[in-house]
Amino acid sequence: MSTLKTGALRGTSGTADSVQLHASNQSVTFPGDVAVTGDVAVTGSTSTTAQPAFRAYGGPSSSTSVEILVFGSETFDIGGGYNTSDGKYTIPSGQGGIWVFCGSVMRNNDEDDAIVALYKDSTGIAEGRCTTNVTNSSKGYASLDVISIAQASAGDTFYLKNESGNIHCNSTLSQFWGYKLG
């Protein structure tokens, strides 16, 4: 294996600078970030690293007090940020940016009012609310959905919390999910 050390590479055609590899399975590895100025053309296949994302489900069948809703199962967790023990998603190292989070639970069938909130660290940033007139005919299951876009830094935590009422989570359809938008 040979090592080439240089401050710059210049093409020989006189019209454009380029670096070409003429053997199969060749690659160029950079030890850090690379900035590209100008247009980039790619011929052939490319690969990218998947953005962090998760989907958790299997929350509590009933939550009647102000508490974090813990979803104990995951469909996927790219980046490893969701904790099935405490219900919190922690932004992974190096993944700060703009994130989207969503939660979907239900008001229990014997409840009139219920509120579920999305928290960033210890601050509520969005809520889903179902309020009705207090009559027997207004009770019943109702979907409580909350979605928000947020600026996040590595180490920030996001979670769903029962703020009021009797919250029910369907074992497969109720969920908490999020992904890095950019």
> Residues 118-129: pLDDT tens digits?
999 999 999 988
Q: Confirm if 115 and 94 have CB atoms less than 8 A apart.
A: no
The amino acid sitting at 99 is W
**What is residue 4's predicted lDDT score, i.e. its pLDDT?**
67
CA angle (145, 59, 119) in 5-degree steps: 50
β-strand 114-120 against 53-57: which pairing, if any?
unpaired
Range 124-150 average pLDDT = 79
**Which is more confident, 165 or 118?**
118
**Which is more confident, 172 or 105?**
105
- The whole model's pTM is what? 0.72
DSSP 85: T
User: At which residue do the structure tokens 């490893």 appear?
Assistant: 80
As a whole number, the mean pLDDT across the chain is: 83
CATH number of 53-180: 2.60.120.40
pLDDT digits (tens, 9 = 90+) for 49-75: 789 999 999 988 888 889 999 999 999
Beta bridge partners of residue 82, listed in sequence order: 89
CA of residue 156 relative to chain centroid, distance: 12
pLDDT category at 170 given cuts 50, 70, 90 is confident
**What is residue 169's predicted lDDT score, i.e. its pLDDT?**
87
Q: Confirm if 169 and 105 have CB atoms less than 8 A apart.
A: yes
Is pLDDT of 166 > 70?
yes
Range 25-34 average pLDDT = 68
Is pLDDT of 155 > 90?
yes
**What is residue 7's predicted lDDT score, i.e. its pLDDT?**
65
Nearest-angstrom CA–CA distance, 29 and 82: 31
**What is residue 92's predicted lDDT score, i.e. its pLDDT?**
97
21-25, 115-119, 132-136, 148-152: which has the minimum mean pLDDT? 132-136
- The domain ranges of the chain are 53-180
User: At which residue do the structure tokens 């020989």 appear?
Assistant: 12
